[in-house]
Amino acid sequence: MRELTYYVATSLDGRIAAPDGTWGAFLDEGDHMDVLVDEYADTLPGHVQNALGIRSSGTLFDTVIMGWTTYAAALDAGIVSPYPHLRQFVATRHRQSESPDVTVTADPVATVRELREEDGAGIWLAGGGDLAGTLIDSVDRLILKINPVVLGDGVPLFGGASYADRSFERTRLRAFDSGVVIAEYTRRAGGGS
C-alpha cells in the first residue's frame, strides 16, 4: 500500500502560511536547501526544476494532492500544471482545473483511499491546512520543514481537524545553521486509521 506523506513548511507555532496565504516568512536559502533539492526534488515545481537544471526521480513521490488555495498560487503565477512530473490532484468542490494534467476531486478522502491501493511511489500531500485536516487520519508520514519564525496567526498545519489522539513517532530530526529543522514522523501503530 502506498503511503500518504504530508510534506510541508511550517512555523514554530504550526502555521503553514500567513493569514493572507503567503509563506514569505519561510527561509528559501541556507544550508537546509541542499537537502530539500537533493532528497525532496520530487516536490519541486517543474519550473523550479528547470531553473536549477535538475530532474526529479519520481522514486519518493509520483502523485501530489493539494487544496485549491495551494493550486491557485501556481495559477496566479500563470502555471496551470505546477508539478508536470507528478500525477496531480486538486481537492475542491467548486472549481475546475485549467489543465488536462490536473484532476479535480470533490472527495479527497475517497481519492486518497483509491490512490493508496494502486502501485507506485508515495503520495505527497502538499497542503493546504484544511485539506490536511480532512485527510489527517490517512496521513502515514509527516515531514515538517520547521522555520524559525512565529506567525501567531495564519493557516494551521491541520485546519478543522477534530480532537483525537493521533500519535506519530519521530524517525529523523535534522537541525541546520539556518535555523530550519526538518522533522520526520511516522504514524504509530493504532495512531489513527
Q: What is the pTM of this model?
A: 0.94
CA–CA distance from 177 to each of 32, 148, 153 (Å)? Answer: 8, 11, 26
CATH of 4-187, one of 3.40.50.300, 3.40.1390.10, 3.40.430.10, 3.40.50.150: 3.40.430.10
Return the beta strands (E) in 33-98 as ranges: 61-67, 87-91
Burial of 59 (0-12, 13-18, 19+ CB in 10 A): exposed
Going from N- to C-terminal start, the domains of the chain cover 4-187
Q: Which of 27-31, 81-85, 97-101, 104-108 has the lowest mean pLDDT?
A: 97-101
Query: What is the average pLDDT across 10-19?
Result: 94
156-174 pLDDT, tens digit each: 999 999 888 899 999 999 9
pLDDT tens per residue across span 16-71: 999 888 877 898 899 999 999 999 999 999 999 999 999 988 899 999 999 999 99
